[in-house]
Structure 1
Amino acid sequence: MSIKEKIESVRTQFLAELESFPDTQHDLENIRIKYLGRKGLVAELFAEIDNVPTDERPVIGEALNILKIELSTELKARLQGEDKGLIVAEDHSVDSTLPGKVPPLGSIHILEQTLSEIKDIFMSIGFHIAYGPEVDDDYHNFGALNFPEHHPARDMQDTFFVDDDTVLRTHTSNVQIHLMENEDPPVRYIVPGRVYRNEAISFKSYCLFHQVEGLYVDKDVSFGQLKGCLKYFVKQMFGPHRKMRWRPSFFP
């Protein structure tokens, strides 16, 4: 049998098996492997090209490529038809009149929710939001904030030192220094963020907590404006009837 006859024989045999309408996609996959697999019948025909006279090879090569494309196209169409049939069958088994299932939704963490509320309140009266490094140098965390060299806060019992001149910030005040170094007045910011203290971990204390502080630098800024901002915040955050007390405090 010549190679041309073999090509026609493979085509006829493939179509006959395909028309037998395999019951499952598994059957179709077996047909694909038999004819189009790496060791399939089409691959065997391609291997016989070496035995074809040189002047006939282009014609035989083209015929084999056409065969491969035809078989692939027919098989793909049948596979897609099987997929659609499966989808239709599944659709008939579903009662579309039944109520749907609502997937569970997550919620924002209480800390993030609280910080968002705080930021919204201060932004409503003209403050901007600033963030800064949680790992900072000694100058921005202590020196520029007038903490003397032997201040207790610098002690390793209270502060996490990365190295001799680098710490995990103990307050968000380090961002105030960065802001004043890089911006001209008027400066009006709040600084929310995480801060770190070398505390014993217990039910009432932790080595990490969240802090929000404000910075307002401008001409003719008064203590009354500070009280006004804080009073507005408290009433917005905790309710309009919340009473406030003002007590002086001193941090050495």
Structure 2
Amino acid sequence: MHTIIESAEQLEKIIQALSREEGLELESLYRDVLSILNNLPEKISISEFKDSEIESLKRTFLFRKGALNQLFRFIPFLPDDLKRSVGAAINKTKKKFESVFKKKEEKTEPPLKFDVTAPGRSPEVGRRHIITKTIETVCDVMRQLGFTYTEGPEVEDEYHNFVALNIPPHHLARDESANFYITDTTLLRSQTSPVQIRYMEKHKPPIRVFAPGRVYRPDTIDASHYYAFHQVEGLWVDEGISFAHLKTTLLLFSRLMVGENIKVRLRPSFFPFTEPSAEIDFSCFICGGTGCPTCGRKGWLEIGGCGMVNPKVLRYCNIDPEKHTGFAFGIGIDRIVMALYGINDIRLLFQNDIRFLEQF
């Protein structure tokens, strides 16, 4: 076995001599190389070498910059007969050591331990986002109330987002600072109300639809504001629809969504597309109306806005306001999520932090 170590050392010395260009005859050196390689034993047992010796042999016989590979550099300058003999000897030696070390690695790899009788591991299953789950619940509740699902584009034109909703040209709601404009007349929708316009343009009363979706406003991001959030739009247009229908619908929605003890409060307000208009408050889900940090100690949560559809809006959709009336409401889904799950910062809903999401 020491013959192999000595042979490796001799090859290293020859490479060093070649690199120093000491004026030695190339043919003489390569005849020594041929003698060294031909005298290597046919069978090599790596198990009898120390770890340090094994690494040394790898460097000499297998590495790309090892002595054996370096010998190829000068073969083109040898006589033809010696060129063929040396090339064949180098290739034979290289294959021999590759085979030996491959067998060693196969032997040293630990056998795989697998118990075929052991029960399998259950795959890790993800879960739906709490916003997604809440939207699905909202959809189920609205269907129970007799409403039909519809949807509209998130990229809207000014007509559907403003004009048909009776929002005049110089209204602050149309300002560039209050919207994400894409072009002069195209923007990301700032509310789900354009969906009701598109639906009324294509359908005639009776109309009873709801439309959940994402809306966009360039609000300053803080604990209660984000540039994208979710709403659900509700619309009911028919003969004889009154504010009483609106209030009853909201009361039933709140009880089916949250619980029987929820109260609904409507505060007078103004929206260009409804007349009369109101803000929607639900009694706090957390404290039951007694006051807590979630509701700001008020006992009430502001959920959205509502009102009777403005006659001008109906006319834009070619619906006769003398014959048909209707109500519309928009409820903030994210606010419901925050109240249901006791979340005090809306930013947590959109950060995709697994530490937060895996709690629900």
Q: Are 1:152 and 2:169 counterparts?
A: no
> For residues 222-241 of structure 1, what are the structure 2 equivalents within 5 Å?
222-241=242-261
- Which runs of structure 1 show a deviation greater than 6 angstroms over 4 or more consecutive aligned residues? none
> For residues 13-28 of structure 1, what are the structure 2 equivalents within 5 Å?
none
What is the aligned partner in structure 2 of residue 217 from structure 1? 237
Q: Are 1:188 and 2:208 counterparts?
A: yes
In structure 2, relative to structure 1, the CA distance for the partners of 1:139 and 1:101 (3 Å cut) is same
* Bigger share in strand: 2
Answer whether contact 2:216 2:228 (CA < 8 A) is retained: yes
Q: Are 1:165 and 2:196 counterparts?
A: no
Deviation at 1:251, TM superposition (A): 3.8
Larger Rg: 2
CA distance in 2, matches of 1:242, 1:236: 9
TM-score, L = length of structure 1: 0.61
* Bigger share in helix: 1
What SS does the corresponding residue of 1:114 show, helix, strand or coil?
helix
What is the aligned partner in structure 1 of residue 195 from structure 2? 175
1:140-177 CA-to-partner distances (Å, cap 9, x unmatched) read 00000000000001111101111111111100111111
Which of 189, 200, 209 aligns to 2:220? It is 200
**Please, which runs of 5 or more residues in structure 2 have no aligned partner?**
1-110, 273-360
CA distance in 2, matches of 1:234, 1:217: 21
TM-score, L = length of structure 2: 0.43
Amino acid at match of 1:157: S
Answer whether contact 2:137 2:257 (CA < 8 A) is retained: yes
Amino acid at match of 1:115: I
What SS does the corresponding residue of 1:249 show, helix, strand or coil?
strand
What is the aligned partner in structure 2 of residue 103 from structure 1? 123
CA distance in 2, matches of 1:204, 1:184: 38
In structure 2, relative to structure 1, the CA distance for the partners of 1:93 and 1:150 (3 Å cut) is closer
CA distance in 2, matches of 1:246, 1:164: 36
Answer whether contact 2:251 2:263 (CA < 8 A) is retained: no
CA distance in 1, matches of 2:237, 2:136: 24
1:87-134 CA-to-partner distances (Å, cap 9, x unmatched) read xx98x95241x3331111111111110000001001012101111011
What is the aligned partner in structure 2 of residue 13 from structure 1? none
Deviation at 1:199, TM superposition (A): 1.3
CA distance in 2, matches of 1:245, 1:129: 26
Answer whether contact 2:151 2:213 (CA < 8 A) is retained: yes
What is the aligned partner in structure 1 of residue 162 from structure 2? 142
Amino acid at match of 2:127: S
CA distance in 2, matches of 1:160, 1:172: 15
| Matched pairs, number | 162
In structure 2, relative to structure 1, the CA distance for the partners of 1:93 and 1:119 (3 Å cut) is closer
Answer whether contact 2:250 2:264 (CA < 8 A) is retained: no
What is the aligned partner in structure 2 of residue 246 from structure 1? 266
CA distance in 2, matches of 1:251, 1:182: 24
**Identity, % of aligned positions:** 47
What is the aligned partner in structure 1 of residue 115 from structure 2? 94
What SS does the corresponding residue of 1:241 show, helix, strand or coil?
coil
In structure 2, relative to structure 1, the CA distance for the partners of 1:155 and 1:103 (3 Å cut) is same
1:206-226 CA-to-partner distances (Å, cap 9, x unmatched) read 111101110111111121111
CA distance in 1, matches of 2:264, 2:114: 65
CA distance in 1, matches of 2:207, 2:213: 19
Amino acid at match of 1:174: P
CA distance in 2, matches of 1:237, 1:105: 27
What SS does the corresponding residue of 2:267 show, helix, strand or coil?
coil
CA distance in 1, matches of 2:231, 2:212: 6
CA distance in 1, matches of 2:131, 2:144: 20
**Please, which runs of 5 or more residues in structure 1 have no aligned partner?**
1-88
CA distance in 1, matches of 2:122, 2:201: 52
What SS does the corresponding residue of 1:157 show, helix, strand or coil?
helix
CA distance in 1, matches of 2:114, 2:188: 60
CA distance in 1, matches of 2:210, 2:114: 58
